[in-house]
Amino acid sequence: MPELTRRRALGAAAGAAAALAVAGTAAAAAARKEHTAADPASFDEVYKGRRIQGTPSHGGGHHGGHGGGYSVHIDGEELHVMRNADGTWISVVNHYEPFATPRAVARAAVAELQGADLVPLVTV
């Protein structure tokens, strides 16, 4: 129950930030930036037979060096995710299509993977 409350609170904050951003003022931009720093709640579930987990993370664990504050795993392997300025999310397997939440992006990745394992990426 406390988790639900927290999620609801974050949702309200994100909604308010979005409304302010539409106003387009400098204050709104600052407020939005502040709210974006707050991470969505953790999740842990089995989706289509695979364990998907998400949790706020502060530094470390990301192989892409993008500085994201949230990490997502599928069956224990990290899924590279990124948050857009408007609060939506993408992952390395759906990199051109934003989703509303990290859980939605994790579920989309499971669908896209069709049972395949994630592998650590080769980066330069």
Partner 1 sequence: MTVRKNQAQLTSTEKRRFVDALLELKRTGQYDTFVTTHNAFIMSDTDSGDRVGHRSPSFLPWHRRFLIQFEQQLQAVDPDVALPYWDWTADRTAASSLWAADFLGGTGRSRDGQVMDGPFSAASGSWPVNVGVDGRTYLRRALGAGGRQLPTRAETDSVLAMSTYDAPPWNSASDGFRNHLEGWRGVNLHNRVHVWVGGQMATGVSPNDPVFWLHHAFIDRLWAQWQARHPGSPYLPAAGTPDVVDLRDTMRPWNDVTPADMLDHTRHYTYDAAA
Which stretches of the chain bind partner 1, using CB under 8 A? 21, 29, 33, 36, 63-68, 80, 82-86, 92-98, 112-114, 116-119, 121-124
CB of 56 to partner 1, least distance (A): 16
Q: Which is nearer to partner 1, 33 or 48 (CB)?
A: 33
In this complex, which beta carbon is closest to partner 1, that of residue 3 or of residue 117? Answer: 117
Identify which of residues 49 and 65 has a Cβ nearer to partner 1 in the complex.
Answer: 65
Minimum Å gap between C-beta 87 and partner 1 is 10
Q: CB neighbours (10 Å) of residue 83?
A: 19
What is the smallest separation between the CB atom of 34 and partner 1, expressed in angstroms?
Answer: 12
- Across the chain, which distance is largest between two alpha carbons, in Å? 45
Kindly tell me which of 8 and 63 has the beta carbon lying closer to partner 1: 63
**Least CB distance to partner 1 at residue 113 (A):** 6
Note whether 54 and 43 are within 8 A (CB): yes
In this structure, how many other beta carbons lie within 10 angstroms of the beta carbon of residue 39?
18
Length, in residues, of the chain = 124
Kindly write down the DSSP assignment for every residue of 75-99, as one continuous string.
TTEEEPEEE-TTS-EEETTEEEEEE
Q: How far apart are CA 43 and CA 64, in angstroms?
A: 22
